[in-house]
Amino acid sequence: MLLGKNRNTINRWYGIFRQVIYRHQTALKDKLLGRMEVDESYFGAKWRRGYHGKLKRGRGTLKQPVFGVFERDGRVYTEIVPDCKRLTLQAVILGKVSIESVIYSDGWRGYNGLVDVGYSKHFRVSHGDNEFARNGHCHINGIESFWSFTKRRLAKFNGVSVNFELHLKESEWRWKKQPGELASERWQLIRCY
């Protein structure tokens, strides 16, 4: 009760603010150009009540798949996807990443065929062979750092079961911004919308 307001009032204000951020982030229609890192991640509960066996992680679970594109020295773009199959990922990449871009990914087979659809510069890092960076520039550490940031942020809410896309776009908006930048940009967004 630092502000003397009810918890429900504060939650409503944050909900409105998240909707404004969501509209702002989805309105950014320009294609990303440059060196791009692409990766998929899975969001959901770590364990299920009443299940005592070993739980699987990542692909093949009931978690929500999310695909992300990180523009090095720039912004990040995320999209909730139904699955991480090749055609799904290629559709997002073709819609958001310029064909002249350099793409870095891991060895997931969902990234097969990017050269066939016009991306002549596609480099992979084989995490299965304990390879996480090659030649100093071939890595996907930026997008993986974003996933870590987002999961830590969402853990503060004990998971998000409602309006997950709003929280995801808020994390996208907050990524790599200092508190002063967030405050000034927040008021600009509120004035615009």
For 79-85, what is the mean pLDDT? 94
* Per-residue confidence band for 65, with pLDDT thresholds at 50, 70 and 90: very high
For 169-178, what is the mean pLDDT? 89
Q: Measuring CA to CA, which residue among 124, 120, 94 is closest to residue 109? A: 124
Per-residue pLDDT, 62: 75
Residue 160: burial class (beta carbons within 10 Å; 0-12, 13-18, 19+): middle
Kindly report which listed range (23-32, 73-82, 132-141) carries the lowest average pLDDT score. 132-141
* Per-residue confidence band for 120, with pLDDT thresholds at 50, 70 and 90: very high
Q: Measuring CA to CA, which residue among 117, 147, 153, 115 is closest to residue 37? A: 147
C-alpha separations of 130 from 106, 127, 165 in Å: 11, 5, 32
What is the pTM for the complete model shown?
0.81
Sketch the domain layout of the chain as residue ranges. Answer: 7-46+55-192
Q: How would DSSP label each residue in 85-120?
A: -HHHHHHHHHHHB-TTSEEEEES-GGGTTTTTTT--
For 55-84, what is the mean pLDDT? 84
Query: To the nearest whole percent, how much of the chain has pLDDT over 70?
Result: 81
CATH of domain 7-46+55-192: 3.30.420.10
How far apart, in whole angstroms, are the C-alpha atoms of residue 47 and residue 43? 12
Q: How would DSSP label each residue in 173-185?
A: HHTT--HHHHHHH
Q: Which residues contact 46 (CB under 8 A, 6 or more apart)?
A: 55
Alpha carbon 187 to its chain's center: 24
